[in-house]
Structure 1
Amino acid sequence: MLAVMSPISSNLATVDEIVPDPHVEIKTLIRGFLDASNYQSPRSPHDAELRRKLAEELTSWPADIKPALIAKIMDGSCVYAETTYGHTTHEHRYFIALYTACLMYVDDLGERDLDAVMRFTGRFARGEKQPDKILQRLAELLGSAHDLWTQFGADAIISGTLDAVTAMYIEFTTKDMVAKPSATRFPYYLRTRAGLGPPYIHFIFMKEWRATPESYLQVLPDMEHWTLGTNDILSFYKEELAGETNNYVHLRASAERTSTEEVLRRLVEEVLDSARRMDALTYEDSKLTALWRTYMQGYLEFSLSAKRYRLAELGYQP
């Protein structure tokens, strides 16, 4: 409960001045999730060279891109690479940061040139040059994925990116769509494509780490589910404050004919269950266990570092 103090009487609040917090249940569920995840900040260091190189790259981007967007892209991309993929080489981290920057740009581009977003995959498949400079940079980046990741991993990064750009277009054109009660699988279907799960999961496994994927293939579904679900949980508070309803929780609530709070509660349990399965699946492989735990804590650190999530209002710091 939040007590709102009268500007006239700052020492005493009447019963009428006590107003309920409409987000108290959401805050409680998010706090419970973070507590159950045993978050302990790795305090990942800043990578000065990574930031220098990305800043240099961004200076070559079109001048009409708003400075505020450039600053948001710069900080978000670097922090993500530093926290979540700190175990990788500098070359890998730069790829991931630049890739993230390009996808953040695509997300913004949909508001200005939706046709360019819609036609990206077709042009990529035909080997055509993208008319938008940053989309062309993304296409070139995908072309070098096999240099850094295994055949299986690079293929997943490329196909997952094409899936995601297509799904972003769908999200832009269906913002006001309400999920039908019988479409209970649709929210998950859209989320797994738009959420860039495969690329960001496969970024974890460098080609130099293990040459083939059979030792970690079976953990990928739970690792992806944990990542996407964690993002849904930790971003939901700021989305509710902004009045956003075209997200996974709202779509699922509509399809399942229940409240968003109930969906969030179920999602917290599902994601924590994926984390428990990850612990069990990696138990006999100490290197894989270490990689999973490092990734998990790094991803939580990134989420808490992202000011846009507003999790500091819940009492959490990176």
Structure 2
Amino acid sequence: MSQSEQGQHATDSVGAEPYLRPLISSFISSIGYTTAPVISDGTYWSALHQRAANTGIPHPEGSHSFKCLKVGGNYAIACLPNHPLDVQVYVGIYTWLAIVIDDVACQSSEDFEPFHERFASGKPQPTILLEAWAGIIRSAFDYWDPMAANFIVAASLDFHNACVLEARSELRCLVRTKGGHSLAWYMRSKSGVADAYAYFTFPKAIYPDISCFLEAIPDMSAYFCLANDVLSFYKEEKAKEKGNYINYRAYYEDSDTRTVLGKVIEQTQNAVRRMRVVVKGREPYEQALNNHILGYIAFHTLSDRYMLSEIGLGEDAPSVVNGEVP
């Protein structure tokens, strides 16, 4: 049994809870997170639900799509609290659609694989979901500088490709070799759609000068992937998920998942320090970046999706979690 297999066996046997709570608690504290803000905005939720209805995508209350809409809505209002309403709604709908795309891409490869060809040629997509997804990607130019929107579009298309690739038998049946070390981050960087979320921080109406934040974009992109891996680790360990970045990296480094998790936390902390240096003293860019960094933590601790309450790290803020129109 390799070191990585021994470490994984230890994780499964002992359980993640005893060591994860202090580790994650220390991590979020180190980047300045204290507690989730109180958020209540009926206008936002009304606008979000109206735009969701306009897509034509069924999302009856209690359905999987409805739950994904609440997650998407929570993201925008928790992470981007000072953005214009139309931008918040855009990000909420974008996140909703991305989550659904990620969940169902494996069910209809004949529709999902030719998405890029149809997108490039301007042909209509074959389903309401894919047509709405193409539309939300194109409308990025309404809210972000053309160069930023270009990166949002590119990241969105990469994300779609990653969803399709993850569903293909070639990846699921891949016989890994030690020469494939870079594949772990390649897949994570594509599936994380992180460049898009990094640029979402700075819509052109409030943050017109790209030079004030461009240096921070690479670390912001890494942060959204890596912090999610840290905050999703308990949920994925509980589900015995082996196809994630931390497990892949543990294999390639002949290590165990706990060691890799520690390395990922250190990487994430360093990324936060560097991006804060970039925007220090540059308002309102500094505030926007810090809102997104800390709001991203709140998004995870407030959401049932990540099961952090089971290890004592969940928070309760009904106005955010429920996503209801007051």
TM over 0.5: yes
Contact 1:44-1:83 within 8 A present in 2 as well: no
Which residue of structure 2 aligns with residue 138 of structure 1?
133
Structure 1 length-normalised TM: 0.87
Q: Structure 1 55/22 Cα, relative in aligned 2: closer, same or farther at 3 Å? A: closer
Task: Name the aligned partner's letter for residue 252 of structure 2.
Answer: A
**Deviations 1:63-117, CA, capped at 9 Å, x for gaps:** 5989421221121011001101112100001111111111122122223212222
Query: Is residue 263 from structure 1 mapped to residue 278 from structure 2 by the alignment?
Result: no
Bigger radius of gyration among the two? 1
Q: Which residue of 215, 234, 251 maps to 2:212?
A: 215
> Structure 2 residue aligned with 1:72, among 50, 61, 67?
67
Is the CA contact 1:216–1:288 (under 8 Å) kept in the aligned structure 2? yes
Alignment of 1:114-125 (within 5 A): 114-125=109-120
Match of 1:8 in 2: none
Give 1:293's match in structure 2, choosing from 290, 294, 298.
290
**Alignment of 1:88 onto 2:115:** no
Partner Cα separation in structure 1 for residue 161 and residue 60 of structure 2: 22
* 1:173-224 deviation per Cα after TM superposition (whole angstroms, max 9, x unaligned): 2235364222221111111111010111111111112323112111111111
Evaluate the alpha carbon distance shift between residue 129 and residue 201 of structure 1 in structure 2; reply closer, same or farther with a 3 A threshold: same
Give the partner amino acid of 1:81.
Answer: A
Pairing partner for 1:164 from 152, 159, 166: 159
The count of aligned residue pairs is 300
Q: Does 1:281 align with 2:275?
A: no
1:198 maps to 2:195: yes
Report how far residue 280 of structure 1 moved: 2.1
Q: CA deviation at 1:299?
A: 0.9
Asked if the contact 1:85–1:298 (Cα under 8 Å) also holds between the matched residues in 2, the reply is yes
Using the TM superposition, give the Cα deviation of residue 128 of structure 1 relative to its aligned residue in structure 2, in angstroms.
0.7
Verify the 8 A CA contact 1:99 1:138 in the aligned structure 2.
yes
1:33 alignment partner AA:
F
Q: Distance in 2 between matches of 1:238 and 1:224?
A: 22
Given that 1:176 and 1:246 are in contact with CA atoms closer than 8 Å, whether structure 2 keeps it comes out as no
Over 3 Å counting, the alpha-carbon distance change for 1:21 and 1:199 in structure 2 is: closer
For residue 313 of structure 1, what is the aligned residue in structure 2? 310
- Select the structure that is richer in helix: 2
Contact 1:150-1:212 within 8 A present in 2 as well: no
Cα distance, 1:62–1:38 mapped onto 2, change above 3 Å: closer
Q: Does 2:172 correspond to 1:175?
A: yes
- Identity value in percent: 25
CA contact (8 A) 1:161 1:199 kept: yes
Counterpart contact for 1:178–1:254, Cα < 8 Å: no
- Confirm or deny: 8 A CA contact 1:179 1:252 kept in the other structure: no
Structure 1 residue runs without a partner (length 5+): 1-18
**Inter-CA distance 68–177: structure 2 relative to 1 (3 Å threshold):** farther
State which of 34, 50, 55 in structure 1 corresponds to 2:49.
Answer: 55
Aligned to 2:269: 272
Paired residue type of 1:177: L
Instruction: Report the 3-state secondary structure (helix = DSSP H, G, I; strand = E; otherwise coil) of the residue aligned with 2:231.
Output: helix
For residues 197 and 63 of structure 1, what CA distance do their matches in structure 2 show? 27
The equivalences for 1:35-50 within 5 A come to 35-50=29-44
Q: With a CA cutoff of 8 Å and minimum separation of 6, indicate the structure with the bigger relative contact order.
A: 2
TM-score (norm 2): 0.85
CA displacement 1:255-305 (0-9 Å, x = unmatched) = 111111111010001101111112222224243322221111111110111
Query: Any gaps of 5 or more consecutive residues in structure 2?
Result: 1-12, 316-326
1:121 and 1:42, CA in 2 relative to 1: closer, same or farther beyond 3 A?
same
Q: Is the 8 A contact 2:158 2:190 kept in 1?
A: yes
Cα RMSD after superposing both structures:
2.1
SS at structure 2 position matched to 1:110 = helix
Is the aligned partner of 1:148 residue 2:143? yes
Q: Give the stretch that moved more between structures: 139-148 or 52-61.
A: 52-61
Pick closer, same or farther for the CA change 1:188–1:244 going to 2, 3 Å: same
Provide the rounded CA distance (Å) in 1 between the counterparts of 2:69 and 2:86.
17
After TM superposition, list the pairs within 5 Å mapping 1:24-43 onto structure 2. 24-43=18-37
